[in-house]
Amino acid sequence: EDQVTQSPEALRLQEGESSSLNCSYTVSGLRGLFWYRQDPGKGPEFLFTLYSAGEEKEKERLKATLTKKESFLHITAPKPEDSATYLCAVQAAGGSARQLTFGSGTQLTVLP
Amino acid sequence: DAGVTQSPTHLIKTRGQHVTLRCSPISGHKSVSWYQQVLGQGPQFIFQYYEKEERGRGNFPDRFSARQFPNYSSELNVNALLLGDSALYLCASSGGTGNYNEQFFGPGTRLTVL
């Protein structure tokens, strides 16, 4: 069974204080690993897709990396508007369905 | 371009009733997936449809059903509602430019069962 574990559950940072969020996964063959941002009461917003170990993707203050067992979302010099829940999901290879298995998320709060 | 749209935004039902939730995918996307998100947890997969055919089903009871229409919009139906069905129901579309891996979510329908 595919599993995704995110840590920490919650993280409070001062504005400008860089940090990393962790996503550990077990999957029977990885098709892709996905990062989403979710604001309260809204649907997840797509951020990145990573397909193979060693791959990195960047977008503004966010950088996602992937190894064979985990992914990190690095946040550099965060701003209060980066406050949100960050969700990690995996998609298993094989089969006709492209379902996503999500972790419980990391709730990030950036204080001004 | 319009993103994924879902209706209604909010819904209040009582136990035992049934509910129909609707989703319109991004223009050009042919696949729709449904997820249930309980407060404090990540979304959980319910169904995936592609070209009107069911491609995958998550671990949900038969009270949950769905279908996809020729215009690629979709409906999720839940019968005999239970208190535990209260959640945010998310629709995601995929298939733009042939990429069926990346899924883009709508704003969700908040269902409250009393």
| B38-95 pLDDT per residue, tens | 999 999 999 999 989 999 999 999 999 999 999 999 999 999 999 999 999 999 999 8
Query: CA dihedral defined by B102, B90, B25, A49, rounded to 10 degrees?
Result: -10
d(CA A18, nearest CA chain B) in Å: 24
B96 touches chain A (CB under 8 A): no
Q: In this predicted structure, what is the pLDDT of residue A30?
A: 92
Contact residues, chain A, for B43 at CB < 8 Å = 44, 87, 89, 100, 102
Interface of A with B in 28-47 (CB under 8 A): 31-32, 34, 36, 41-46
Answer yes or no: do B90 and A99 touch at CB < 8 A: no
| A60-98 pLDDT per residue, tens | 999 999 999 999 999 999 999 999 999 999 999 987 788
Q: In this predicted structure, what is the pLDDT of residue A82?
A: 98
Answer yes or no: do A46 and B104 touch at CB < 8 A: yes
Give, in order, the Cα–Cα distances in Å from A93 to each of A14, A27, A69, A97.
39, 9, 15, 9
Residue B1: pLDDT band by 50, 70, 90 thresholds?
low
Give, in order, the Cα–Cα distances in Å from B25 to each of A25, A77, B41, B94.
29, 35, 24, 8
